[in-house]
Chain A
Amino acid sequence: MSAVESSLREIGDLTDAEIFALTQNIKDEEASRNPLISPLEPLSTLKTEYEAGAQAFVRKIESLQQPPHSFAGIRRARGDGNCFYTSTAFAWISGMMNLTSENRKSVVESALLDLEKSLNSLKAVGFEPIVYEDFYEVLTDLIRNILYPVSTGTVLNPASLLQQFQNAETVNSIVIFLRLLISSYIRLHPDDFEPFLFNPDTGDMVDIKRFCEGWVEAVGREADHPQILALSRALKLPIHIAYLDRSGGDSGTGKVDLVEFDSVEGETSPILVTLLYRPGHYDILDKKAEEPAEFLVS
C-alpha cells in the first residue's frame, strides 16, 4: 500500500469532528504562513507567476495594467475565507486616508456617523449589544485614528495601518463587524435579496435567515455577490471586482470582466475599492506599484 493509500484509508476512519479539526489545521497552517494583509507589490510579479501556465491569466493581468484600468500593484490578503472582508476593510480605510485633507475630515466623520446609525439596524434584527459592541469599537477607533491621535498619540499613516492589519484580533473584529452589517442589511431588505440567495455548496435556494447564519455570520465563509452588494450599500462604498479567470480562453483578447457594485445609482463616492478575484480568493488592486518612499521612514 502506498503512503497516499494508507493516509486515505486513515482519513476514512476519522469522525466528522476529526476531519473538521484536520482541515481546519491545514487551513490555519496555510494561512499563518501569509500575512493577513501584505505590503504592495508590482502587478508584474503576479503576471510572472502565471507566465509558465495559464496564458488567459497573463493577458488579463496585462490588460489590467493598461488604460483604462491602469493598475500597477497588488496587495495580497490571506486566503482564510475572510479575504473579501479583510481586503475591503483595508482598501476602504486606506482610501479615506488618501483623500485630500479637506475631504478626509468630512468623509471620515460621515462614515463614523453611518456606522453609529447602523447599530440600530443590528439591534433591529435582534443582535445583542454584547455580541457586537467590542467589534464596533475596534473598527470605529481605527477609523477615528485617521483624523485623531487615539491611544498611540499619532494619527494613522500607511505603515501603521498595515501594522494594525497584522493583528489577528483587530482584523477578526473588523471582519465580524462587516459580516454583521451585511447580515442586518440583507435581513432588512428581503425583497432585494431573497430571490438571489443560494446554498453555494448545493445550489439550492435558501431563505434569508439560513443564508445569513450559514454564509454571512459564520466565521471564514467566503463572500459572493449578495454579500458584496449588501456591504457596498451598507457602507455607501462602490466596490469593483475584476474577475481573473479562464473565460475568453488562452488566445482571447484578455478583456477583464469588471463587476461594479455601486452603492446608490447616481451617487458619487470619493472612494472606490477595486478587488482582484481569482476563483476562491480576493486581493486588492492599487494604482501604485509599491509602498511610498516615506513608508519606511515612518
Chain B
Amino acid sequence: MADARTRRVKKEIQDIQNDRQAGLTIELVNDSIFHLIGSFPGPPGTCYEGGKFDVDIVVPETYPFVALKMKFLSKVYHPNISSASGAICLDILKDNWSPILTLKSTLISLQSLLCTPEPNDPQDAEVAKHYLTSKSSFEETARYWTETYARPQTNEGRGAPSGTSKTSHLPTVRDEVAMAGLERAHVEQFEALGFERGRVIEVLKRINYRGANVPKISEDTVVEELLK
C-alpha cells in the first residue's frame, strides 16, 4: 500500500504544475518525489510583494496521515517564521494537520500566513516584539529582507546570508542596520561611545530598541547591556 503515497504525491505535484495561475512552482531534490522545493510569490499588497519564497518540503513515510515537513529556505522576516532557521509556526503543520491538505493547499496556506501574522503565537520572539512595537518599522524591515533574500532572479545563494557570497553587495552600515530593523541614528549614538557596531546592533535588537520603546529605555540601561 506504500504506493498509495507515491500515487498521491505524483498527482499533487502534477496538480501544481498544471495550475500556472497560482504562481506556485515545485522541483524535486535529487530526483526524489518525497523531498521537494516549492515556491510561491509574496502576496501583493504586503511587505513580501515581489519576492519569491522557497520552501523545503519533506513528505513523511506515513503521508498523508501525518503533516508535510516544511521550512523556509528563503530568509523571511515574519513573527511566525524563524529568521535564523526558517522553521514555521502554523497549526496545520502541527496538530491541525488533515489529509485533505495537499502540497498545493499547504503552500497556499504559507502564502496566506505572510498576509496574516500572528505575533501572539510567535516562532521568532524578537521579530514578534518588533511587529508589536512598531508595525511600520517592522514592515520596512520585512520589505528590506524580501528585496535582499527573496529576489526571484537570484537562485544561487538561496538561503545563504547575502553579503559574503555576493561581492557586488558588500554589507554597508545601512544594510546591517536595516536588516535588524533599527534606526541608523540609534546605532551611531552608541557606536560613538566606543562600542563595536555589531555588538550595538545585537543588543539593540535584543532589547527591542524601537518606536515607543526608545524613550522608555535609558541610555544607561543600554550601556549596561552593552557591557554585559
Footprint of B on A, CB under 8 Å? 16-17, 20, 127-128, 130-132, 134-135, 167-170, 172, 176, 179-180, 213-214, 217-220
Q: Which of A127, A130, A132, A219 contacts B65 (CB 8 A)?
A: A219
Question: Which residues of chain B come closer than 8 Å to A134, judged between CB atoms?
Answer: 4, 7-8
Footprint of A on B, CB under 8 Å? 1, 4, 7-8, 11-12, 15, 62, 64-66, 87, 89, 94-102, 121
Q: How many A-B residue pairs have CB under 8 A?
A: 54
Can you list 29 pairs linking A and B with CB atoms under 8 Å apart?
A16-B89, A16-B121, A17-B87, A17-B89, A130-B15, A130-B102, A131-B64, A131-B101, A131-B102, A134-B4, A134-B7, A135-B99, A167-B1, A169-B1, A169-B4, A169-B62, A172-B65, A176-B65, A176-B98, A179-B98, A213-B96, A213-B98, A217-B98, A218-B95, A218-B96, A218-B97, A218-B98, A219-B98, A219-B99
Smallest CB separation, A276 vs chain B (Å): 26
Smallest CB separation, B97 vs chain A (Å): 6
Query: Do the beta carbons of B94 and A17 come within 8 Å of each other?
Result: yes
On whether A127 and B4 interact (CB within 8 A), knowing A20-B95, A219-B65, A219-B66, the answer reads: no
A172 to B4, CA, bound (A): 13
Query: Do the beta carbons of B100 and A132 come within 8 Å of each other?
Result: yes
Query: Do the beta carbons of B95 and A130 come within 8 Å of each other?
Result: no
Q: Nearest chain-A residue to B87 (Cβ)?
A: A17
Smallest CB separation, A55 vs chain B (Å): 36
A128 to B15, CA, bound (A): 11
Query: Among B7, B15, B94, which residue has the most Cβ atoms of chain A within 10 A?
Result: B94
Q: Nearest chain-B residue to A132 (Cβ)?
A: B100
Question: Which residues of chain B come closer than 8 Å to A128, judged between CB atoms?
Answer: 102
Smallest CB separation, A187 vs chain B (Å): 12
Extra contacts besides A130-B8, A169-B4, A219-B98 (17): CB < 8 Å:
A16-B89, A16-B94, A17-B94, A130-B102, A131-B100, A131-B102, A132-B100, A134-B4, A134-B7, A169-B1, A176-B65, A176-B99, A179-B98, A180-B100, A214-B96, A218-B95, A219-B65
Smallest CB separation, B1 vs chain A (Å): 5
Closest 5 CB pairs of A and B: A217-B98, A131-B100, A172-B65, A169-B1, A218-B96
Question: Which residues of chain A come closer than 8 Å to B99, judged between CB atoms?
Answer: 131, 135, 176, 219
A131 to B4, CA, bound (A): 11
Query: Among A17, A131, A217, which residue has the most Cβ atoms of chain B within 10 A?
Result: A131
Question: Which residues of chain A come closer than 8 Å to B98, judged between CB atoms?
Answer: 176, 179, 213, 217-219
Question: Which residues of chain A come closer than 8 Å to B12, judged between CB atoms?
Answer: 130
Q: Nearest chain-A residue to B15 (Cβ)?
A: A130
Question: Which residues of chain A come closer than 8 Å to B65, judged between CB atoms?
Answer: 169, 172, 176, 219
Question: Which residues of chain A come closer than 8 Å to B62, judged between CB atoms?
Answer: 168-169, 172
